[in-house]
Structure 1
Amino acid sequence: MRAGLGLVPEDRKGQGLVLDASLQDNLTLARLDRDTRGGLVDRRGQRRAAAEVAGQLKVRMSGLGQHARTLSGGNQQKIVIGKWLLADTRLLILDEPTRGIDVGAKVEIYQLVNELTAAGRAVLMISSDLPEVLGMSDRVLVMAQGRLAGELSADEATQDAVMELAVRPAGASGPRHTNESAMEGSDVR
């Protein structure tokens, strides 16, 4: 966190949220050191910051005291992302960010990613959803058999080009792209 890195894990329920904690506590967890003075937590400041980011992300909730467990998958994902927005991360790593959420929440997360990159933040998206990777990436890194198989620019990244790199036998020669890439990882701008 001190290095400015944030991780939205693939398993949001097991690794990204404290399910029986309030939305306010989940949102402010990664910035607890900033909200603590002399061993006391500034709950009013936390509430203000949590309300602002929950509003920005359009989290559908009954209130900040609601437990994370009671939210839909898409709103839970927004809380995990919001935690890192409040922590002011410079690089946000998104591991399967839209798995298990509805189409409307997916669109909102895509818009948020675009806003983050437009504001100068870096986003590294790891996804097995090839259309998502192709639609969101400036650069695609393709992993195959645990190794980097190639890198493609957004212009080079097509379904065929990604699949060619993904299924190429290890050590096989052939046309290498300037960038070497994998369906598992993509650098989103």
Structure 2
Amino acid sequence: MVNSEQEVRKLSGGNQQKVILARCMALNPRVLIVDEPTRGIDVGTKSEVHQVLFDMAKQGVAVIVISSDLPEVMAVSDRIITLSEGRVTGEIHGDDATEERLMMMMAINHNALNAA
């Protein structure tokens, strides 16, 4: 049962994420930046969070997802940009991305940056 008086900090990690996303949605943002939006939450809640992000994007919100979870990045992205030490090291269309390609983009370009 939902208790609207319950403190957010006492909710599960997944429910805390849902509250944060609901708060963001209420502001009608043009851009939403989320950092590790599903870290530490269960698979079912991950799916719900992903759906919220998809829905916001369909409504015209620019959604920027920062994540170290490569399967998540590939699942929610239409364009992926890799960074190393604050620099763009690669860009790929989401449909063309594989974990191997992303790892290569990060490793090759990271090594090139360190050599410079």
Q: Which amino acid aligns with 2:76?
A: M
Q: Which amino acid aligns with 1:144?
A: S
Asked whether the 8 Å contact 1:144–1:167 carries over to 2, the reply is no
Matched, 1:61 2:9: no
Match of 2:64, SS?
Answer: strand
Unaligned runs of at least 5 residues, structure 1: 1-59, 173-189
Q: Distance in 1 between matches of 2:74 and 2:66?
A: 12
Matched, 1:111 2:51: yes
Please report how far the alpha carbon of residue 144 of structure 1 lies from its aligned counterpart in structure 2 after TM superposition. 2.2
Structure 1 runs of 4+ with >3 Å offset: none
Q: Distance in 2 between matches of 1:171 and 1:96?
A: 25
Q: Distance in 2 between matches of 1:123 and 1:115?
A: 10
CA RMSD of aligned residues (A): 1.5
Q: Distance in 2 between matches of 1:155 and 1:114?
A: 15
For 2:29, which of 66, 86, 89 is the aligned residue? 89
Matched, 1:166 2:106: yes
Q: Distance in 2 between matches of 1:149 and 1:161?
A: 12
Corresponding residue of 1:98? 38
Return the index of the structure with the highest Cα Rg. 1
Match of 2:73, SS?
Answer: helix
Most deviating of 144-153 and 97-106: 144-153
Higher relative contact order (CA 8 A, sep 6+): 1
Q: Distance in 2 between matches of 1:72 and 1:164?
A: 36
Please report how far the alpha carbon of residue 171 of structure 1 lies from its aligned counterpart in structure 2 after TM superposition. 4.6
Q: Distance in 2 between matches of 1:97 and 1:123?
A: 12
Q: Which amino acid aligns with 2:46?
A: K
Q: Distance in 1 between matches of 2:104 and 2:27?
A: 39
Corresponding residue of 2:61? 121
Unaligned runs of at least 5 residues, structure 2: none
Corresponding residue of 1:7? none
Match of 2:6, SS?
Answer: coil
Could you say which structure has the higher helix fraction?
2
Q: Distance in 1 between matches of 2:61 and 2:50?
A: 14
In the TM superposition, 1:173-188 aligns within 5 A as: none
When the two structures are aligned, how many residues end up with a matched partner? Answer: 112
TM-score, normalization by structure 1: 0.56
Seq. identity, %? 44
Deviations 1:71-100 (A, max 9, x none): 110000111111111111111101000001
